[in-house]
């Protein structure tokens, strides 16, 4: 195939989930307009989708690393979120400790919990499902004990501003719009530069790269998405601070999984653990890292959640693990491990957020919402399994 030829099928395949996400959003928009419930694409609603689902993006990023190691999952993340949130409430609200010290202590506790799980999984070789199921029960109980069964609120404004404020918030609408769009354009330029640099590096090392036409089409599609989201935010209150946190998390973990040796070890173990071990990969250390990292990101998600709710609650984090797992599989991660990207997990998380938001606006019962999300998750896994069988039969 010529390097300048555009393979439409390849472009569609590479952007399947993004196109499905756009299609679902358009479907909800039509249904919402027909029923007179407002608009899914109202700028304030787009902002709310980002803020309400920030924790899902953070948890899905960490969950992806666990899934890559062979389809393993972490069932304890919701309980860890509850416990770290409870500790944050005690430290910040009850004890009045400095906010930054409290944040560091919370992140340390989350990391230690992840290391606790990782030790039993990696070195004692207890199955991750059993270890994290025990963690789910254990940490939920500890969270309830720490809170004595009662919520702690409100959190100080200085803490809430770290996660719930807006960049240049409080300014004039014109200046907010202009600044937000400038930032969106800068993000596009940074994205284009990094992609061009990455492509050039791969070609220099002899790796196979996509055709120029496909590469350009990818840049155009993703830059268009950034600009469209930017204009929605610009028409509301600007860029939420939590979106900057999400950008940092996504950028760091995307680079880690794509361009570092430890990141590639995760894929190697998921592809064939025995082969990876024979190749010199310390599979135990990689598994330990994956679950320790999951604990750290659960703590980050907890700090975001307590700011969003403005309270630490013993029931916080319920079903968060299901949202994170579903986001990864919907975003293209394989149930067998070894396949998946951070970008895909993020798209899956947004997909889940749009489903929740769209069905809520339409007034669909919570039980039906759970049923729909369950069917979507099942469909994603079935698609993965069928695709794997087709490839193995060729």
Q: Is the dihedral of CA 152, 313, 305, 76 positive or negative?
A: positive
Cβ 56 vs Cβ 326: under 8 Å: no
Q: Which residue has the higher pLDDT, 120 or 41?
A: 120
Q: CA 9, 328, 355: angle at the middle one, nearest 5?
A: 85
Given a cut of 70, whether residue 394 has pLDDT beyond it is no
d(CA 169, CA 241): 10
Phi-psi region of 6 (alpha: psi -120 to 50; beta: other; left: phi over 0): beta
H-type alpha helices, 171-260: 173-204, 212-234, 241-259
pLDDT digits (tens, 9 = 90+) for 238-249: 899 999 999 999
Read off the pLDDT band of 392 (50, 70, 90). Answer: low
pLDDT digits (tens, 9 = 90+) for 349-369: 998 889 889 999 888 888 888
0.75 cut: is pTM over it?
A: yes
Cβ 81 vs Cβ 302: under 8 Å: yes
pLDDT digits (tens, 9 = 90+) for 247-278: 999 999 999 998 889 999 999 998 888 898 98
- Mean pLDDT of all residues belonging to the chain: 88
d(CA 4, CA 27): 34
Residue 166: name the closest of 231, 236, 88 by CA. 236
Read off the pLDDT band of 22 (50, 70, 90). Answer: confident
Q: Which residues contact 211 (CB under 8 A, 6 or more apart)?
A: 1, 2, 3, 4, 5, 6, 7
**pLDDT reported for residue 2:** 47
d(CA 347, CA 331): 6
pLDDT digits (tens, 9 = 90+) for 5-15: 555 666 666 66
Q: Which residue has the higher pLDDT, 9 or 372?
A: 372
């Amino acid at each position: 195939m010529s390097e300048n030829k555009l393979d439409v099928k390849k472009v569609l395949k590479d952007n399947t989930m993004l196109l499905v996400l756009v299609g679902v959003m358009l479907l909800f928009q039509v249904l919402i307009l027909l029923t007179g419930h407002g608009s899914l694409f109202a700028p304030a609603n787009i902002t709310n989708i980002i803020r309400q689902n920030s924790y899902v993006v953070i948890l899905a990023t960490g969950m992806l690393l666990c899934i890559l190691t062979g389809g393993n999952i972490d069932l304890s993340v919701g309980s860890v979120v509850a416990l770290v949130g409870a500790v944050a409430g005690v430290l910040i609200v009850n004890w009045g400790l400095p906010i930054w010290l409290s944040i560091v202590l919370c992140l340390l506790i989350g990391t230690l919990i992840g290391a606790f799980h990782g030790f039993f999984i990696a070195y004692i070789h207890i199955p991750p499902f059993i270890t994290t199921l025990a963690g789910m029960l254990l940490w939920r109980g500890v969270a309830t004990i720490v809170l004595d069964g009662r919520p702690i609120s409100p959190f100080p404004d200085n803490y809430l501003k770290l996660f719930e404020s807006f960049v240049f918030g409080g300014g004039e609408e014109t200046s907010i719009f202009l600044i937000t769009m400038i930032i969106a354009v800068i993000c596009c330029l940074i994205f284009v530069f990094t992609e061009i640099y990455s492509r050039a590096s791969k070609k220099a090392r002899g790796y196979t790269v996509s055709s120029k036409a496909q590469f350009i089409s990818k840049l155009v599609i993703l830059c268009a998405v950034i600009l469209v989201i930017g204009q929605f935010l610009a028409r509301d209150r600007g860029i939420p601070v939590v979106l900057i946190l999400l950008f940092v998390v996504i950028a760091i973990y995307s680079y880690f999984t794509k361009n570092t040796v430890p990141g590639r070890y995760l894929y190697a173990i998921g592809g064939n653990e025995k082969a990876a071990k024979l190749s010199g990969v310390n599979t135990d250390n990689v598994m330990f890292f994956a679950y320790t990292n999951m604990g750290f990101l659960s703590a980050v998600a907890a700090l975001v959640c307590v700011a969003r709710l403005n309270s630490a609650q013993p029931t916080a984090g319920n079903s968060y693990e299901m949202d994170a797992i579903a986001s990864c599989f919907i975003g293209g991660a394989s149930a067998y491990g070894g396949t998946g990207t951070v970008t895909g997990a993020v798209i899956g998380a947004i997909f889940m957020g749009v489903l929740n938001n769209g069905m809520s606006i339409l007034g669909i019962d919570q039980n039906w919402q759970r049923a729909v999300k369950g069917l979507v998750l099942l469909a994603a896994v079935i698609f993965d399994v069928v695709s794997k069988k087709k490839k193995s039969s060729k």
